[in-house]
């Protein structure tokens, strides 16, 4: 009989899901949802990088504004940078935290974790190929319940989706 896996700190809207280095794809989805639920712009901080108030916000080469000149809106956007990094920091085990110690932005933390756990584009392609093979050869094991089989199948589909290969549970 297999033991159920769970994230002990999960299930809270104000505490990020804990990541100890295992089940990265599961954690990645939960963490993405958690960050999006905290503020509508927080996920943009992860994907695009820190917001930096500039004299001409439409010109990325424009000089940065002095903090004393920031508007209330700019202050709240800058605060998202710190919040995103704090949430990621609180979510990581000591070992995972040490992996990203040198990162100075939430985007760099996220990208470093993704590269470490998903690998480079070549490794990612190999993982997709392995996932496709698992998907195509999937069948129920003799001593497995329907729930266990479905859970195992859903894990394959989620891993494939997180690698950019879209399958749904209905595709099988």
pLDDT at 8 over 60: no
**pLDDT tens digit string along 85-118?**
999 999 999 999 999 999 999 999 999 999 888 8
- The Cα 64–Cα 70 span in angstroms is 10
Say if residue 101 is in the same domain as residue 114.
yes
Say if residue 28 is in the same domain as residue 111.
yes
Q: Which of 118, 133, 150 is the last residue of a domain?
A: 118
pLDDT at 38 over 50: yes
Domain of 144? 122-171
Say if residue 111 is in the same domain as residue 127.
no
Say if residue 110 is in the same domain as residue 130.
no
Q: What's the pLDDT score for residue 127? A: 80
Say if residue 153 is in the same domain as residue 130.
yes
**pLDDT tens digit string along 120-134?**
777 778 888 888 888
CA 171 to chain centre: 25
Model pTM?
A: 0.69
| Residue 10 domain flag | no
Q: Which of 83, 103, 118 is the last residue of a domain?
A: 118
Domain count, the chain: 2
């Amino acid at each position: 009989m297999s033991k159920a896996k769970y994230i002990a700190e999960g299930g809270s809207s104000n505490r990020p899901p804990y990541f100890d280095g295992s089940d990265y794809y599961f954690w990645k989805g939960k963490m993405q949802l958690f960050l999006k639920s905290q503020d509508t712009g927080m996920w943009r901080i992860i994907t695009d990088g820190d917001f930096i108030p500039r004299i001409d916000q439409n010109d990325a080469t424009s000089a940065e504004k002095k903090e004393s000149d920031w508007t209330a809106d700019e202050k709240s956007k800058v605060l998202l940078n710190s919040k995103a990094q704090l949430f990621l920091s609180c979510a990581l085990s000591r070992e995972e935290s040490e992996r990203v110690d040198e990162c100075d932005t939430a985007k760099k933390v996220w990208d470093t974790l993704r590269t470490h756990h998903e690998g480079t584009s070549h490794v990612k392609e190999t993982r997709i190929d392995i996932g496709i093979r698992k998907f195509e050869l999937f069948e129920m094991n003799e001593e497995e319940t329907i729930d266990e089989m479905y859970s195992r199948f859903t894990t394959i589909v989620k891993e494939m989706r997180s690698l950019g290969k879209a399958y749904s549970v209905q595709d099988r």
